[in-house]
Amino acid sequence: MPVRAKPFSAFLQLSEEKKIMNLQTLFLEQTKNTPKVHADPATGLFTIDGDSYPENSYDFFAPVFEWVEQFLTETGKKLVMHLQIAYMNTSSVKAMMDLFDMMEDAFGSGKKVEVVWFYDPRNERVIEMVEEFMEDCTFPFEIEAR
Amino acid sequence: MQSINLLMLRQELNDKNILLCFNGPISSGLIQELGDALKNHLQTESTEPSLAMDVFGVFIELTQNIRHYAGRLGYSDAVSSATVVVAQHSNGYQVMAGNIVEPEDGQKLVQRINDLADMDKAALKAAFKKQLREPRAEDSASGAGLGLIDISRKSSVPLSCSLTDAGQGKAFLSILATI
């Protein structure tokens, strides 16, 4: 007797809780040229702290993209990103812009997202960089001295 | 016994206010170490934080550009060596970097640098934002052409460059940024 294929909808009926369980905490230790990364699926708080100038930024940012994409598609929770990055090389800037684009798309489809970028008030270059990112984002985005 | 005298080299470096000078095969670890040395120097000179970050940023973009280029062309260590100089210059700094390139690539880069030299701050910002939106090639590890625009934006005067014949069908490209 042929085995009836499980209807596709069965896969979509996983409980919200079950789906969140699949998403692990993301933690990357700070190195000389990459920042510390910590993302908690339980709270939706994503922090990136430190300078970012690896030679291949996409290798470094790949797990970040993956985590954020999964969090935004699989949970209904708000994503809060706390960033404290003073210096980024241009390939990190491009990766960050792609990340913000991903958040912008999610925001456009009704998801809750927010970014707070902390900076050292003695270094105004950071403000200029962050303001350029802000120009391309409509979701809540703040810059705060710390 | 062969005699050595580094005093002349030392005097020349001192006369030209050169605080960092490197010539040879450049690895990512070396960029890191030289960058750290540069950062420390800028800190001890109590350079204004935003100026220090611009100088460091220009150093990183120029050296990483050289690494990406050499990697893409599969250059050997000998050919992918870089010449990097950071010097104090009036109220700011100069960062110079030179490397071996294919002559036709060198000509394209000279053209690109000259185009950027004609742009004002607003045009450079627009060019940066436009480039930021260009789709990234799958095999591209770099910032996809953002580096030179970024360096131009951080510079107080337009970039200068020169392309000279390096023999064996290769050319040597020198770039100077004043910050």
A10: pLDDT confidence band, cut at 50, 70 and 90? very low
CA–CA gap between residue B19 and residue B38 (Å, rounded): 8
Least confident range from A4-18, A76-90, B90-104: namely A4-18
Q: Which residues of A touch B64 (CB under 8 A)?
A: 53, 55, 89, 91
B12: pLDDT confidence band, cut at 50, 70 and 90? very high
Backbone phi, psi, residue B164, to 5°: -125, 150
Q: Measured between CB atoms, which of B60, B68, B142 is closest to A53?
A: B60
Across the interface, whether the CB atoms of A123 and B129 are under 8 A apart is answered no
Which of B40, B130, B142, B156 best tests the A interface by mutation, with the highest count of A CBs <10 A?
B142
Compute CA B162 distance to the chain's CA centroid, rounded to the nearest angstrom: 13
Q: What is the pLDDT of residue A134?
A: 97
Q: Which chain B residue shows the shortest CA-CA distance from A124?
A: B50
Residue B140 has pLDDT above 80, yes or no: no
Residue A125 has pLDDT above 60, yes or no: yes
Residue B144 has pLDDT above 70, yes or no: no
Q: What is the pLDDT of residue B141?
A: 52
Across the interface, whether the CB atoms of A89 and B61 are under 8 A apart is answered yes
Residue B100 has pLDDT above 70, yes or no: yes
Percentage, residues of chain B above pLDDT 70: 95
Across the interface, whether the CB atoms of B54 and A125 are under 8 A apart is answered yes
Question: How does strand A36-40 pair with strand A26-28?
Answer: antiparallel
A14: pLDDT confidence band, cut at 50, 70 and 90? very low
Instruction: Look at B32 and B143; give whichever has higher pLDDT.
Output: B32
Q: Which residues of A touch B54 (CB under 8 A)?
A: 125
Q: What secondary structure, in 3-state letters, does chain B show?
A: CCCCCCHHHHHHHHHCCEEEEEEEECCHHHHHHHHHHHHHHHHHCCCCHHHHHHHHHHHHHHHHHHHHHHHHCCCCCCCCEEEEEEEEECCEEEEEEEEEECHHHHHHHHHHHHHHHCCCHHHHHHHHHHHHCCCCCCCCCCCCCCHHHHHHHHCCCCCEEEEEEEECCEEEEEEEEEC
Percentage, residues of chain B above pLDDT 90: 78
Residue A129 has pLDDT above 80, yes or no: yes
Question: What digits encode the pLDDT tens for the residues A60-114?
Answer: 999 999 999 999 999 989 999 999 999 999 999 999 999 999 999 999 999 999 9
Q: Which residues of B touch A122 (CB under 8 A)?
A: 49
A9 three-state secondary structure: helix
From the list A14, A63, A58, A57, the residue with the least C-alpha distance to A39 is A63
Q: Measured between CB atoms, which of B32, B50, B67 is closest to A125?
A: B50
B154: pLDDT confidence band, cut at 50, 70 and 90? very high
Chain A (21-80) residues lying within 8 Å, Cβ to Cβ, of chain B: 32-33, 53, 55-59
Across the interface, whether the CB atoms of A125 and B125 are under 8 A apart is answered no
The complex's ipTM works out to 0.91
Distances from the Cα of B101 to the Cαs of A10, B162, B176, in angstroms?
A: 58, 12, 16
C-alpha distance across the termini of chain B, in Å: 44
Q: What is the pLDDT of residue A62?
A: 96
Across the interface, whether the CB atoms of B150 and A90 are under 8 A apart is answered yes
CA distance B147 to chain A (A): 6
Instruction: Look at B137 and A27; give whichever has higher pLDDT.
Output: A27
Q: What is the pLDDT of residue B137?
A: 66
Q: Measured between CB atoms, which of B32, B56, B132 is closest to A97?
A: B132
Q: What's chain B's length in residues?
A: 179
Q: What integer is the mean pLDDT of A4-29?
A: 60
Residue B179 has pLDDT above 90, yes or no: yes
Least confident range from A109-118, B17-26, B71-80, B102-111: namely B71-80
Note the pTM of the prediction, 2 decimals: 0.89
Residue B118 has pLDDT above 90, yes or no: yes
Q: What is the pLDDT of residue B160?
A: 96
Neighbouring CB atoms inside 10 A of B74's CB total: 8
Across the interface, whether the CB atoms of B143 and A94 are under 8 A apart is answered yes
Q: What is the pLDDT of residue A13?
A: 46
Instruction: Look at A16 and B170; give whichever has higher pLDDT.
Output: B170
CA distance B16 to chain A (A): 28
CA–CA gap between residue B149 and residue A95 (Å, rounded): 17
- Which two structure tokens, joined as six digits, stand for A35? 């920042």
A84 three-state secondary structure: strand
